[in-house]
Structure 1
């Protein structure tokens, strides 16, 4: 019995609004004519049935055998009519859960084709850093002070052991010519008339200027700096003590000796983002192919699905967006997304974070969806957490962040250091700064809270982002960085800003080795 046949049967029953017992699917796939048998089972199901049970199939198979026995005239009764259409998709026809008049799919259970393990003793999933329900910011001045103090304290603690740190006010009182070190936030970056760089660091006591000479070997690091990131510098005070000449520069960074954790068994996670249901350019066929693939033997080890934001296209996100919408109501967009989510095998654990197109606040960190949206997106009891959050899968920590700040990194840094063609390289800079959105007041909207939820206090094993609609992955100091592309083909707006998306891809990570394979469905 081909495993693909079982997967197609599950998909067909799902499109008609039915779930099925594993043994029932097996018997259907083993029938002499699976297409006709499935059609007859559906016709004879009780009106209130939601699950195709084994006895339903057995009853039809018994009746079919009786019908096939020779009649008094010596002829066999045909099981199907000549013009009957096959009821199971062969790949040429994909069920669309948004089709008018079609039955909405119920949540699919474990795929008979995939045969994946669902032993709860083997799985573990933990969430850290979810600030949903813990937002305290009021927008007052004190909130801004608190979040930057917290950032400096958390990241400064990783740097003070590397330099002989002194507060800004203490440095101002030191005699000229001495060696000095400081940890602070980058308050300003500007070039001098001679081509040198002047960097102003700020700590809780004040500010102090540091001069980076253009001919020093680390001068090119200035091109990587963003305002508001935490940095450490060492150098020599000028004779008048009004400035320090930089001898060395340190980032919080990921230690080069970082050793990532791995799972104790062969298990995989699918990492996707930017589904954009509701857009006219949402790729229905690619998503359906992805969902079908998850029911096959090839995907039997995929037990986790992580979605890094932008489940729907949203409303009013960019100018004239309404002209590119297939579903114009935001709540209906989530209802349709939930129907697509039901196509995913029910024994896969799903974790989602919001993005800038979703119906949450734009300012980061973004709390998870409110109760109304959670009720709509109820398929498979998905975990819905804040952006960012850290998900630990069987010991492997995955930092999930939608990725709006990547626009800022790519805009501010030279093209050879960060570009849309290699989004993972822009992610490397966030790992180096140990912060997912360091610059305040630019493209990325940041919300002041009592603490900075955007700091990478712990080094993740995997860093997963989306947003830029480009596929890219690589390792930085043994941290696997993945930007997972999208499920939306190029829109008119994207054409106007020269975005050529990588759409219909699903990176699959082996959690026991952190190796990556990419499945293409477009």
Structure 2
């Protein structure tokens, strides 16, 4: 039996064990019968050192005070039981969480006009952002271009309707606004401008300035909604930490249950070095960005990969783990494409009937995908705005944006996230993700510039910074499956981005081995 099977065995018996246990075990154990004999052996139980090997009865957490023991009448050993209150009594300051945006799903029959209104709302908001640029303040509608003479310098703002390449390798964009369409040519001899044009995708909103020609504008400059270059780098007045995970996939056979349990034990202050436990004691926020469970019927042949085949049981398993996390840590959680909810974005909150256990966890805050959440505000400090998005659109842009594709594609989530911030949209192209049009607003538009942008989906750990926005793509808790391999996903499992809100320094902690390793990001800045 391997370590993971042994940990699962103890969990099924109702015990939470520490890593020191493995020093006491004989790894010639062949099967469950050997463990059954071992766990009833008084000499083995007596040899356990409670200071190094935490053996907690999960059923008894909360039923005993912090100094109370559960006596074993058949041996001299007592199993130490940690009361929930003992874990949560260190509350230096309040864990403040305010949900700025979480999608409120309303059943409504969708009509063609809903799609029209959806793109109108997108265009109108992004146009307002672009009009803040001095170069675009004199922009005209496309209909008014007919009044211009050849050689006039003009600027327009439009949504990219089509993109073409001429036989001379120039690029032509067809832009549209509410008054019409017009062609804009990017000359291949203007290298910088031409490279920008190559990365432009369908349905994004841009501004251009150029010279009027015969039925065409020769582009001299292109402008994106982007985020301000002077966006403030906020820092908390106190040393507090936020942790980010995603893609746990409870219910799949290749779930790294042992490593995830180490992570939870670390959050509880029961695992790691003294310094690592000290950091854990200062964690107040845990973000879980989608794909909490493996789901059912997600891809052909998935049933063969499932350890838990019932979706209700998958969420029950997830609830069991989340309930072990100290209440002082606020868990902010959203769904992903594997979760039991509609695939189309924005995805609503978890269904109360399917994942009812989540709604019984007092420190869990459930939001939609995407969502915008403010954390750690206090008197005189506005807090941090955290944009959560699982990342279903990422593969599309990894494949269709040349500059990203040439630098690593799907393995460069940092570049994808930067790209989406520049476009101020999480999925600007119509075919980049499944979506439901909302006639009142395009909820995938990035209206408010976040301080932290966190995602998942790709199973890769990346950390970066763009114009003082921390970009975090979370790791996963599974090894590569056959489905991952088919889709080109190479997991970097059990790695945790951890941000110090006082310094904005981000560390990556690796739980894949017996000891926690602290890694640092190699890509801490993007210009």
| TM-score, normalised by the number of residues in structure 2 | 0.79
- Corresponding residue to 1:314 among 291, 295, 303: 295
Q: What is the match of residue 370 of structure 1?
A: 351
Shift of 1:88: 7.0
Q: Note if contact 2:497-2:508 (Cα within 8 Å) is conserved in structure 1.
A: yes
In 2 relative to 1, CA 41–343 (structure 1 residues): closer, same or farther, beyond 3 Å? closer
1:52 and 2:64 aligned: yes
Matched, 1:456 2:446: yes
- Residue 247 (structure 1) aligns with: 220
Residue of structure 1 equivalent to 2:251: 278
Once superposed, what is the RMSD of the aligned Cα atoms? 3.2
CA contact (8 A) 1:310 1:358 kept: yes
Whole-Å separation in 1 of the counterparts to 2:55 and 2:416: 55
Q: Secondary structure at the match of 1:202?
A: strand
Decide whether the 8 Å contact of 2:426 with 2:445 is kept in 1. Answer: yes
Corresponding position: 1:128 with 2:140: no
Give the 3 Å change call, closer, same or farther, for CA 226–173 of structure 1 in structure 2: same
TM-score by length of 1: 0.80
Instruction: Give the distance between the partners of 2:339 and 2:155, measured in 1 at CA.
Output: 44
The answer to whether residue 439 in structure 2 is matched with residue 444 in structure 1 is no
How many residue pairs get aligned? The number is 452
**Residue 412 (structure 1) aligns with:** 400
Deviation of 1:422 (Å): 2.1
Residue of structure 2 in register with 1:259 after alignment = 232
In the other structure, the counterpart of 2:164 is 190
Q: In the alignment, what sits opposite 1:212?
A: 186
Structure 2 partner of 1:336: 317
Q: Distance in 1 between matches of 2:394 and 2:55?
A: 54
Does 2:128 correspond to 1:153? no
Instruction: Report the counterpart of residue 7 of structure 1 in structure 2.
Output: none
- Cα distance 1:448–1:393, how it changes in 2: closer, same or farther (>3 A)? same
Specify which of 384, 391, 396 is matched with residue 403 of structure 1.
391
CA distance in 1, matches of 2:162, 2:150: 23
> SS of the counterpart of 1:425?
helix
Q: By how many angstroms is 1:173 displaced?
A: 3.5
The 1-side partners of 2:425 and 2:384 are apart by 20
**What stretches of structure 2 of length at least 5 have no aligned partner?**
1-9, 17-46, 270-276, 377-382, 513-527
1:140-179 deviation per Cα after TM superposition (whole angstroms, max 9, x unaligned): 1111011111111111101123212111111133222211
Q: 1:256 to 1:14 in 2, by over 3 A?
A: farther
Q: Are positions 1:109 and 2:84 aligned together? A: yes
Aligned counterpart for 1:173 among listed residues 147, 158, 170: 147
* Structure 1 residue aligned with 2:306: 325
| Cα pair 1:237 1:243 within 8 Å, conserved | yes
8 A contact 1:274–1:310 mirrored in 2 = yes
Query: Secondary structure of 2:411's match?
Result: coil
**Per-residue deviation, residues 415-444 of structure 1 (Å, max 9, x unmatched):** 23562222111111001111111111x241
Question: For residues 417 and 500 of structure 1, do their structure 2 counterparts lie closer, same or farther at Cα, with a shift above 3 Å needed?
Answer: closer
1:243–1:54 CA distance, 2 compared to 1 (3 A): closer
Hey, what's the Cα distance between the residues in 2 that align with 1:277 and 1:144?
Answer: 36
Contact 1:197 1:211 in 2 (8 A): yes
Instruction: Give the Cα–Cα distance (whole angstroms) in 1 for the partners of residues 242 and 13 of structure 2.
Output: 23
Aligned match of 2:115: 144
Distance 2:489 2:56 in 1: 48
Distance 1:316 1:445 in 2: 17
The answer to whether the Cα contact below 8 Å between 1:270 and 1:509 also exists between their aligned partners in 2 is: yes
**Counterpart secondary structure, 2:480:** coil
Q: 1:124, CA displacement in angstroms?
A: 1.6
- The 3-state SS of whatever aligns with 1:166 is coil
Question: Structure 2: how far apart are the matches of 1:291 and 1:452?
Answer: 37
8 Å Cα contact 2:344-2:435 kept in structure 1: yes
Classify 1:370/1:172 alpha carbon distance in 2 versus 1 (closer, same or farther; 3 Å).
Answer: farther
Contact 2:56–2:79 (Cα < 8 Å) also in 1? no
Instruction: Report runs of 4+ in structure 1 exceeding 6 Å deviation.
Output: 11-14, 38-42
> What is the distance in 1 between the residues matched to 2:209 and 2:13?
64
Structure number with greater Rg is 1
2: distance between equivalents of 1:445 and 1:40? Answer: 46
Equivalent pair of 1:165/1:180 in contact (CA under 8 Å): yes
Q: Secondary structure at the match of 1:244?
A: strand
Q: Is the 8 Å Cα contact of residues 311 and 354 (structure 2) preserved in structure 1?
A: no
Q: Which runs of 5+ in 1 are unaligned?
A: 1-10, 18-31, 65-78, 90-106
Question: 1:296-343: per-residue Cα shift (whole Å, max 9, x none)?
Answer: 233111111000001000111112111111111111111111111112
- Distance (Å, rounded) in 1 between the aligned partners of 2:120 and 2:432: 22
- In structure 2, the CA distance between the partners of 1:41 and 1:259, relative to structure 1 (3 Å rule), is closer
1:467 maps onto 2:449 in alignment: no
